[in-house]
Each structure stands twice: as C-alpha cells, then as structure tokens.
Amino acid sequence: MNRKENFTAGFIRENPVFGLYLGLCSTLAITTTLNNAIGMGVAVILVLVMSNVIISCLRKVTPSEIRIPVYIVVIATLVKIIQMLIKAYAPALDSALGVFIPLIVVNCIILGRAEAFASKNGIFDSALDGLGMGLGYTVSIIVMSAIRQLLATGILSFENPFHMDQVIFSLKLIPEDYVISMFSQPFGAFITFAFLAGALAAYKNHQNAKEAKKEAEAKKQAAQLAKEAK
C-alpha cells in the first residue's frame, strides 16, 4: 500500500466508524451537535497522530511482552494533556463532551492503529496513518452530527468553541413544525448510524462488483488474445 492509499484508507475502505465499527460509544453519544463532533474529532486527531509518532519511535526498544501497557500509558498521557487544554481554553466544550474526552484512552481506533500500524512502520508513515484515520473519524461524526442536529432542531449551527456566545453560522433549514426531536435521543443516533453504515456498505459492494467485473473482462480479453496467438 502506498502513502496515498494509506492516508485515504480511513475515509472509505477502512472508515473507522461506518466501516470498522470502532469508537461507537463516543460516536453515538456526542453526535448531537456540530460543536461536539468537531471538538471530539480534533481531540482524536491530535491523540492519534502524536501517539502513532511516539509509538513508532519506541517500537524498536519496546519489548513485545509489555507493548500494550506501553501503548496505553502513552495514549493516556496524551489524552490527559488534551483534556487539560480543552478544560483551560474551551470549558463549555469540556462540559458538553464530559466523560467522553478521557474515554479516548480506550477508544479502539487509537489502540488499534498503534498495534496494527505504528508499531510496524516509520515515523512519517505512522503520522500519516494517524492523520488519515483521524480525519476519517472526524468526517464521519460531523456528517452524523449534522444530520441529527438538523432533523432534531431544524437548525444547522456552529459556535466558536473558545467563546460559545460567538455564533459562527446558524442556518434554519427545516420549519419548527417538521422537526423530529427523536434524533436528539439515543434511538435517533442508532437510526442515523444504521443508515450511514448501510450506505457505505452498499457503496463498497458496488465498487467491489465493478472491480470484479473489470478483472473478469481483463481475463476474458487475455484468454481471447492467447487463443488468437495460437
């Protein structure tokens, strides 16, 4: 796999949320507003990139018997730093995300990339992998949050996370009489996730079918050419 494929894997082929079904606890819980999604997404990107880089640096000196505890210590330290920064500079976001910021420590995406990629590859490739997976996760929860917020309130809005009284944009797209408040509840989160995961699976199946058809046609042409050559 080249670097471009490695970087883009987290968006479609190995999307951590809708493809690999990782990090679903935080995804289902915090995707009620764009502010929550972007705040959590940025935190996960930072932890993913930095943990991948550190673990890649330590991979040759970390005994295999204790590698998982080492990964967890590295990730937990980074998460605590991010949590303290959010608490200091974006307290409203810290209150909104609550316990799900420290729970990044046990997010399967973070530990999974450390074990599957960073522990086996160089620093630059590991950082690229972390950035790609983090962006894939962030885009996924932003899409899910936008759908839920819009259907539940009729408004798509985003506030400055450092000054929550400063509204960056607010668009009222659905009249109040037509909103579906259910989408702000857990059941709405499951419904939204199911539709998006199903849509991604259908797209991947369609792409696989196209590739299989191309391969079959290529083999048929090769066989025809071989027959003509004889």
pLDDT of residue 205: 92
Q: What are the tokens at 214?
A: 């191309």
pLDDT of residue 152: 93
Mean pLDDT by 10 residues, the chain (230 residues): 80 88 87 91 93 93 89 93 90 84 85 89 92 93 94 90 80 90 91 94 90 86 76
pLDDT of residue 230: 64
pLDDT digits (tens, 9 = 90+) for 151-191: 999 999 988 877 777 888 888 989 988 999 999 998 999 99
Cβ atoms of 14 and 117 closer than 8 Å? no
The set of residues, in sequence order, having a beta carbon less than 8 Å from that of 142 and lying 6+ positions away, is: 34, 37, 38, 41
Secondary structure class of 154 (helix, strand, coil): coil
Distance (Å, whole) CA 13 – CA 29? 24
CA angle centred on 209, ends 203 and 212, rounded to 5°? 145
Instruction: Count how many Cα atoms sit within 13 Å of the Cα of residue 158 in the half-sphere of its side chain.
Output: 10
Q: Kindly provide the b/e burial profile for residues 96-120, where b requires at least 16 CB atoms within 10 angstroms of the residue's own CB.
A: bbeebbeebbebebbbebbeebbbe
pLDDT of residue 192: 94
| Ramachandran category for residue 22: left, alpha or beta (phi over 0 → left; psi -120 to 50 → alpha) | beta
Q: What are the tokens at 173?
A: 């797209």
For the whole model, what pTM was predicted? Answer: 0.88
Q: What are the tokens at 217?
A: 């046609």
